[in-house]
Amino acid sequence: MRNDGCTRLPVAVAQFTVARKPERNLEIIDGFAGEAAAQGARLLVLPEGLIARDGDDDAFAAAHAQPMDGSFVSGLITISTKHNIALMGTVHIAPAEGSADARVSNVFLTIRDGEIVAAYRKLHLYDAFSAKESAVVKPGETLPPIIDIDGWRVGVMTCYDVRFPEIARSLAVRGADAIVVAAAWGRGPLKEYHWKLMTAARAVENTCYVLACSEVSSRNIGCSRIISPLGEVLAEADDSTAELIAANLDRNALESVRRTLPVLHNRRFADPQLQ
């Protein structure tokens, strides 16, 4: 599906309530993938924790982790192939048999051309606002990757990662044109404000497009959005309903912003660990 001459990249973001049953979630994703593909999208962004979720049980998603070669990930590969569209989102992956650490991994998958082309394990675990993700999830150890989608370089982050600007900056200085955030962003005082502020900030400070997808439920805010390199909201979902939003990423607009606002070129200090 690669097209290195692509000036515009049609993208879509699907926010929905992750169900308790993995089979139901595959049905939902298949529906959104078909709708996105019909609109010409080449990339569909999905929320965090796609296999199973219960809004009243923090540990439910981790408790329903599957192996990487299990039925859920196989189902995602089938959906991506069927609709000829790249998929991005996170799944909880069970530890290898006999592992000394019984915690699962929260893995951001990119599926393209019928295969898993990248798997990023969440670096920053949500040990904040009285939550303790690290009790059931082990952190990753490496910076998130950048993936080619039709000649566009797309970096990835997972939920709480967005509060750490050095991660987005690392992606930008390594050449990302866009950054995808898959999340299950919890409701609470100022939480919606934080989500909107930080997703826009990551776009502006790095002159990147940002595609941010949060699960929507009684527990999580939704408010998925696609943001331009100057912080303009190109498409946005609400805080209460399942919805598909879409936009075109424009190469000419991106390059124009980076000529006018060359922050990546003008920065004077760099952390070699983030290169």
The answer to whether 6 is a known catalytic residue is no
Q: CB–CB of 8/251 below 8 Å? A: yes
Confidence (pLDDT) at 1 = 43
Q: CB–CB of 33/80 below 8 Å? A: yes
Answer yes or no: is 2 within a domain: no
Q: Give the neighbor-by-neighbor strand order of the sheet with 115-121.
A: 115-121, 105-112, 86-93, 43-45, 8-15, 243-250
Q: Which domain holds residue 173?
A: 9-264
Answer yes or no: is 185 within a domain: yes
Answer yes or no: is 239 within a domain: yes
Answer yes or no: is 90 within a domain: yes
Spatial CB neighbours of 216, under 8 Å, sequence gap ≥ 6: 15, 16, 17, 222, 223, 224, 237, 239, 240, 241, 242, 243
From 133, 159, 208, 215, the catalytic residue: 159
pTM of the model: 0.96
Q: CB–CB of 93/52 below 8 Å? A: no
Answer yes or no: is 137 within a domain: yes
Tokens of 21: 């049953």
Spatial CB neighbours of 135, under 8 Å, sequence gap ≥ 6: 59, 103
Confidence (pLDDT) at 5 = 53
Confidence (pLDDT) at 59 = 86
Distance CA 194, CA 77 (A): 33
The answer to whether 192 is a known catalytic residue is no
Answer yes or no: is 186 within a domain: yes
pLDDT by 10s per residue, the chain, length 275: 444 457 999 999 999 999 999 999 999 999 999 999 999 999 999 999 999 999 888 889 999 999 999 999 999 999 999 999 999 999 999 999 889 999 999 999 999 999 999 999 999 999 999 999 999 999 999 999 999 999 999 999 999 999 999 999 999 999 999 999 999 999 999 999 999 999 999 999 999 999 999 999 999 999 999 999 999 999 999 999 999 999 999 999 999 999 999 999 999 888 777 77
The answer to whether 159 is a known catalytic residue is yes
Tokens of 68: 């990487």
Distance CA 141, CA 122 (A): 8
From 23, 27, 35, 48, the catalytic residue: 48
**Domain CATH number, residue 127:** 3.60.110.10
Q: Is 259 exposed, middle or buried (0-12, 13-18, 19+ CB in 10 A)?
A: exposed
Tokens of 2: 């690669």
Residue corresponding to tokens 């069927």 = 82
Answer yes or no: is 275 within a domain: no
